Amino acid sequence: MSESPSLSRAERNRLQLRADIIQAAFIEFSARGYHQTAIADIAKRLGIGHGTFYRHFENKRDILDHVIDDVSAKIMATLVAENAPSAAASLAEYREQCARIAKRLVGIFAENPAMARLMLFEATSIDQQMTDRMMNLLDWGGKLVAAYMSNGLKLGFFRADLDVEATGHAIVGMILISALRFLTHPDDKQEQQRLANAIQLLLVDGVANRTLSSTATTPSS
Q: What is the pLDDT of residue 5?
A: 59
Domain end residue (candidates: 40, 57, 74): 57
Whether 36 and 20 map to the same domain: the answer is: yes
Burial of 110-149, coded b for 16+ CB within 10 Å and e otherwise, reads eeeeebbbbbeeebeebeeebeebbeebeeebbebbbebb
Do 26 and 89 share a domain, yes or no?
A: no
Per the structure, the complete domain to which residue 49 belongs is given by: 9-57
Task: Encode pLDDT of 84-111 as tens digits.
Answer: 999 999 999 999 999 999 888 888 877 7
Domain with residue 53: its CATH number is 1.10.10.60
* CATH number of the domain that residue 114 is part of: 1.10.357
Domain match, 31 and 82 both: no
Whether residue 66 is found in the same domain as residue 148 = yes
Number of domains in the chain: 2
Is the same domain home to 45 and 122?
no
Mean predicted lDDT score pLDDT of the chain: 86
Q: Which residues are registered as beta bridge partners of 208?
A: 158
With contact defined as beta carbons under 8 Å apart, do 83 and 100 qualify?
yes
Burial class (CB in 10 A: 0-12, 13-18, 19+), 187: exposed
The predicted-structure confidence for 117-153, as pLDDT tens digits, reads as follows: 888 888 888 889 999 999 999 999 999 999 999 999 9
- pLDDT tens digits for 23-71? 898 888 878 888 899 999 999 999 999 999 999 999 988 988 888 888 8
Same domain, 13 and 52: yes
The model's pTM is 0.78
Q: Please report whether residue 216 resides in a domain.
A: no
Radius of gyration for the chain, computed over Cα atoms and rounded to the nearest angstrom:
21
Sign for the CA dihedral angle at 63, 134, 196, 104 comes to negative
Instruction: Tell me the average pLDDT across 1-20.
Output: 78
pLDDT digits (tens, 9 = 90+) for 158-181: 999 999 999 999 999 998 888 888
Residues 52, 126 within the same domain: no
